[in-house]
Structure 1
Amino acid sequence: MYDPRQLQVLAEVARTGTQTAAAEALGYTQPAISYQMRMLERAVGSRLVTRRGRGIHLTPAGKALARHADIVLAALRSAENELAALTAPGGGRVRLAAMQSGCVALVPRALGTLRRTHPELEVTVTQAECQVSHGLLLNDEIELAVMCDVDTVDPTAEPDTGGESLTIDPRLSSMPLLTDRRCVLMPADHPAAAQPFVSLADLAEERWVLESGRARFLAACRDAGFTPRIAATADDQLTLHHLVAHRIGLAVLNALAVTAHTDPRVVARPLTGFPVRRVFALLWPDSRNVPATAALLHALGEAALPTADGTPGIVPAATRQT
């Protein structure tokens, strides 16, 4: 019988390609990784990895065992999650991480639904950038993450979300929730507020209050033929609303963030010619079989649909895949 901890080390070595990266991902020291690999090779009776330059290469036996390790670890994770849901007081607990705009709009709607349909279910919420949520999910510190696709203008540009570009681990499963477009926040009596949509070219003379992650916006301004005058920088969305209300400048926010605040001094108008972002839920595939996680996933899907009054700026995803 192989030690699950050693199987986890092998799976991480296979995923990252080096023992150093595996140690960092698992929170181990590199000598501890080397020791676990030696013990696993002793139990198997065969070499599992060979060195190749600065990295390592899995032997045929290592590749075969790594495939089985993923299956074994997924089954253990599923059992742990299901038993936790069955034995937790009050009917179960789900740990959720979500980006800021999801926390102020989408997640509260979902939790409101759960309060009615599953009042015994406890959900803990962590606000985190997409990269952090992805890491929490891989480390089994959460069961579910609400994220968006993270894109950059060019390989050297800082992403518009303020973080680094992210490659989703292929072992994880995603469920599309909605597409979210960029809006310009402006005083209610601004001349452009009379228009249903606005373009950057029409706002070239304005002052702006921006989030620190602004690469895509700056690139779009360059394409429109101007460099924006930046009056203030803030990453808190409520702060941006208040800065606009007090006429410090205009702001650009995703529609999810816009819908969470209703200051009558401020209006939002969709920005033309700007790419939408796609918001999705991310989880381990086996977690879909855990009733508590499945209930939260369903509530998030329901919350992503337009409200009865047709919440502006939010368009439901065209397809939902399992």
Structure 2
Amino acid sequence: MYDPRQLQVLVEVARSGTFTGAADALGYTQPAVSYQIRTLERAVGAPLTSRYGRRVRLTPVGAALARHAETVLATLRTAQNELASLVSAGGGQVRMSAFQSGCVGLVPAALARLRRTHPELEVVLTQTECGISHRLVLSGEVDLAVVCDLDDAENPPDPRLQRIPLLSDQRCVLLPADHPAADAASVSLADLSGERWILETVRTRFLAACREAGFTPRIAATSDDQLTIHALVANRIGLAIMNELGVAAHTHPQVVARPLRGWPTRNIYAMLWPDLLKSAQVSAMISALGAAAGALGLGAGPELTGDSTHPDRDR
């Protein structure tokens, strides 16, 4: 009997073509991936991989096992979800992760809707970064994740996972209500080059945009807490940037938000293994997310090609 964790490692090695790529996808170290493959090779009794320069290819035996492993892992995911539903009291369980502003501005409303329509369904929520959510979905530690696409260029999503569009939102600048630009329809970074800024810990994209606008921002404070950011802006310590989803969840009465021109729109999705759409519990959670997203009145999620459609949109 082969260990499902080792089968998953083999599938990731086949997909990425390197042990390092498989380690990054699963949140393992590279030596751990090598160990899992060696252990699986001993169980099979034949080599599963061979090296070609810096790349790794599967042997015929490895390719055959990886093909069957895909089916086995999909069956295990479905079984795990079904058994969780049977064991959990009442209507089953859904494990979900989401990034910070998704947890603040979208997920609570979706959970409230779900409680009304499926009062016995239990949802276990984890707040984490999108990259970590990606790994949690791949490994089966969560059933679905709410993620955004701003890092797709650097960390492209696994093509085996399905992404269901939920909404799009813009980046905004938070200003004190009496700021000269508070009545503007929108603002640009160049308009605000002389201001002080309250920045989040992750600020690479913002700093690059400021350089493109011809200035280096003066940093007055650093905070990842939305309430703190609003309070600092309200007290004129500096300006801040925040996505509409975070603004929709909370705005200080002495703070206004104005769209930031020239900043890419952020698209937000539910991401999961396609076979889990067969789960009534997971589908109910996705429907609640879609309804909550629509009620926010922000941008509609983009249309995707392939199978990336909302389960209720074709009805």
Please indicate, yes or no, whether the TM-score normalized by the shorter chain is above 0.5. Answer: yes
Deviation at 1:199, TM superposition (A): 1.7
**In the alignment, structure 1 residue 264 sits paired with structure 2 residue 253:** yes
1:278 alignment partner, one of 263, 267, 271: 267
- Partner residue of 2:277 out of 285, 288, 291: 288
Q: Which amino acid aligns with 2:49?
A: V
* Preserved contact between residue 137 and residue 283 of structure 1 (Cα < 8 Å): yes
Mapped partners of 2:50, 2:264: distance in 1 = 45
User: What's the % identity of the aligned pairs?
Assistant: 59
Which residue pairs with 1:162 in the alignment? none
Cα distance in 2 for partners of 1:29, 1:213 equals: 29
Residue among 287, 292, 313 paired with 1:303: 292
1:236 to 205, 222, 225: 225
Q: Structure 2 vs 1, CA of residues 305 and 57 (structure 1 numbering), >3 Å: closer, same or farther? A: same
Higher mean displacement: 168-177 or 24-33? 24-33
5+ residue gaps, structure 1, are: 156-164
Partner of 1:193: 182
- Look up the equivalent residue of 2:97 and give its one-letter code: A
The letter of the residue matching 1:211 is E
Deviation at 1:53, TM superposition (A): 3.9
For each residue in 1:46-70, what CA deviation from the matched residue of structure 2 results, as whole angstroms up to 9, or x when unmatched? 6533333455321234223312211
Q: Per the alignment, do residues 220 and 88 of structure 1 end up closer, same or farther by CA in structure 2, a change over 3 Å counting?
A: same
Residue 102 of structure 2 aligns to a residue whose secondary structure is helix
**1:70-81 correspondence to structure 2 within 5 Å:** 70-81=70-81
Residues 69-96 of structure 1, C-alpha deviation per residue, up to 9 Å, x if partnerless? 1122112211221221133112111111
Shift of 1:112: 1.0
SS at match of 1:226: coil
Residue among 289, 300, 314 paired with 1:316: 300
One-letter code of the match for 1:33? I
Question: SS at the partner of 1:132?
Answer: helix
8 Å CA contact 2:2, 2:43 repeated in 1: no
Distance in 2 between the 1:77 and 1:120 partners? Answer: 21
**Structure-1 residue corresponding to 2:91:** 91
The partner residue of 1:246 within 199, 222, 235 is 235
Report the CA distance shift for 1:251/1:57 in structure 2 as closer, same or farther (over 3 A).
same
From the superposition, tell whether residues 31 and 201 of structure 1 become closer, same or farther in structure 2 (CA, over 3 Å).
Answer: closer
- Given that 1:98 and 1:133 are in contact with CA atoms closer than 8 Å, whether structure 2 keeps it comes out as yes
In the TM superposition, residue 18 of structure 1 has moved relative to its aligned partner by 4.5
Change (3 A) 1:31 1:65: closer
Q: Match for 2:38 among 34, 41, 48?
A: 34
CA 1:51 to 1:220, structure 2 compared with 1: closer, same or farther past 3 Å? closer
TM-score, structure 1 length as denominator? 0.86
- Separation in 1, partners of 2:214, 2:185: 23
Using the alignment, how far apart are the partners of 2:283 and 2:75 within structure 1?
Answer: 17
Change (3 A) 1:212 1:31: closer
Q: Secondary structure of 2:57's partner? A: strand
- TM-superposed CA distance for 1:225, in Å, is 2.4
Q: What TM-score results when the alignment is normalised by the length of structure 2?
A: 0.87
2:313 paired residue number: none
- 1:209 matched to 2:198: yes
How far did residue 215 of structure 1 move? 2.1
Q: Report the CA distance between 1:179 and its aligned residue.
A: 1.0
Number of aligned residue pairs: give it: 302
Deviations 1:98-120 (A, max 9, x none): 00000001001101110110111
Indicate conservation of the 8 Å contact 1:23/1:33, yes or no: no
Distance 1:52 1:239, change over 3 A: same
Q: Shift of the alpha carbon at 1:4?
A: 4.4
Secondary structure, counterpart of 1:305 in structure 2? helix
Could you say what secondary structure the match of 1:109 adopts?
Answer: helix
User: Whole-Å Cα distance in 2 between the matches of residues 114 and 4 of structure 1?
Assistant: 32
RMSD, aligned CA: 2.3
> Aligned to 1:10, what secondary structure does the other structure show?
helix
Asked if 2 retains the 8 angstrom alpha-carbon contact of 1:50 and 1:57, the reply is: yes
Matched, 1:173 2:157: no
Contact 2:163–2:271 (8 Å) recurs in 1: yes
Q: Structure 1 CA distance, aligned partners of 2:122 and 2:97? A: 14
Distance 1:52 1:319 in 2: 39
Q: Identify which range, 285-294 or 85-94, moves more after superposition.
A: 85-94
Deviation at 1:33, TM superposition (A): 3.1
